[in-house]
Amino acid sequence: MNDTFLKACRGEKTDYTPAWIMRQAGRYLPEYQKIRSRIDFLTLCKTPEIAAEVTIQPVDILKVDAAILFSDILIPVEAIGMKIEFSESKGPIIYNPVRDEAAIYKLRDIRPEEDTPFVMETIKILRERLNVPLIGFSGAPFTLATYMIEGGSSRNFINTKKMMYQTPAFFSMFMNKITDTVISYLRAQIDEGVHAIQIFDSWAGILSPVDFSRFALSYVQRIVSAFKGKVPIIYFAFNASAMLNLVKQSGADIIGLDWKIEMTDAIEEIGNGIAVQGNLDPSVLFGAKDLIRKRIAGILSGARDAKGHIFNLGHGILPETPVESAIAAVESVHELSDRR
């Protein structure tokens, strides 16, 4: 197996900088579109043979150094009792949002083997077929809470913030429930054989540092301590580069970076004891190949002093991205970082 990604996670020397791309399996790939034209997104997530196939697509096409399980952060949310749908136009919709204490008591305990057997089966198939490490993942408790409270994506997250400020004890009970769910769900993925895990905190950036500390960070810390030393743990808090001093306190082995901070500044903040992942603006892939290459060169040289560096975009690849540009990006990372 190509273990360059895992070596970089551990901060060991590598021949070149490993790369993968958030949302690397998805709508920008015609091969994915073809499958999606005959199967809806949730059914795809729940059909192991096909979920495994789309997980492998970007490994073959882009030559990335890691695969990420094809699924969604809302899968375990559905498993504990939320009614979810993925709308083509509106994104995820949750029909029974959590707005009061009664709703939280209705949430079930997750039993991953029974509730999400398709996830376990997909991992099993991938373990046999992949020649690169497999990344398992979960949403972070705060990000999952926003979807569960708002009922979908949101502009101002008013319901979430009302709950935080008006009924903090209730919010904390809710967050603990989600944290327990995430820990059980990730443990099952690790037991099934994923090589690393990523915790996606897509909405951490709507919080002030003091609120991030109080309402989000400690739950991530609890998840990280549950798995520290078992597999590498990546924590990606989007739009949180102004509070990396707090993000690094998560205890994660690798900190994911968005593109709103210079790599050198991020490393100065994080120190050289933790590896980093990132951080090309996904829209740069709409530029010419030489621009892409130049920006990648900047990131690679900026990451020179990191404990380890895994190249990625600063957020998910956009659906309109030319596949050729994504291929060129991965190729540039491999070429420009070749130290042999």
Contact positions vs ligand CP3 (CB under 6 A): 22-27, 36, 41, 68, 70-74, 86, 91-92, 137, 153, 200, 202, 238, 316
Catalytic residue among 28, 32, 147, 235: 147
- Nearest residue to ligand CP3, scored by beta-carbon proximity: 202
Look-up of token digits 């903090």? 168
Active site residue 293: no
Of 211, 85, 218, 204, the closest CA to residue 145 belongs to 204
Q: Give the DSSP H or E segment for 279.
A: strand 275-280
**Smaller CB separation from ligand CP3, 27 or 222:** 27
**Smaller CB separation from ligand CP3, 238 or 311:** 238
The first and second tokens of residue 131, run together, are 């020649």
Catalytic residue among 65, 72, 201, 258: 72
**Smaller CB separation from ligand CP3, 71 or 332:** 71
Q: In the bound complex, what is the minimum distance in angstroms from residue 297's beta carbon to ligand CP3?
A: 25
DSSP string, 62-94: H--S-EE-S--TTHHHHHTT--EEEETTTEEEE
Helix axes of 323-336 and 289-302: crossing angle, nearest 10 degrees: 40
Q: In the bound complex, what is the minimum distance in angstroms from residue 85's beta carbon to ligand CP3?
A: 11
Q: In the bound complex, what is the minimum distance in angstroms from residue 270's beta carbon to ligand CP3?
A: 20
Q: In the bound complex, what is the minimum distance in angstroms from residue 58's beta carbon to ligand CP3?
A: 7
Active site residue 339: no
Exposed, middle or buried by CB within 10 Å (0-12, 13-18, 19+), for 221? Answer: middle
**Smaller CB separation from ligand CP3, 72 or 115:** 72
Q: In the bound complex, what is the minimum distance in angstroms from residue 340's beta carbon to ligand CP3?
A: 29
Helix axes of 218-227 and 168-192: crossing angle, nearest 10 degrees: 20
3-state secondary structure of 16: coil
Active site residue 36: yes
What is the rounded distance in angstroms from the CA atom of residue 16 to the CA atom of residue 195? 20
Catalytic residue among 10, 36, 127, 187: 36
| φ and ψ of 81, to 5 deg | 125, 5
**Smaller CB separation from ligand CP3, 23 or 127:** 23
Q: In Å, how far from its chain's centre is CA 88?
A: 21
Catalogue the active-site residues.
Answer: 23, 27, 36, 72, 147
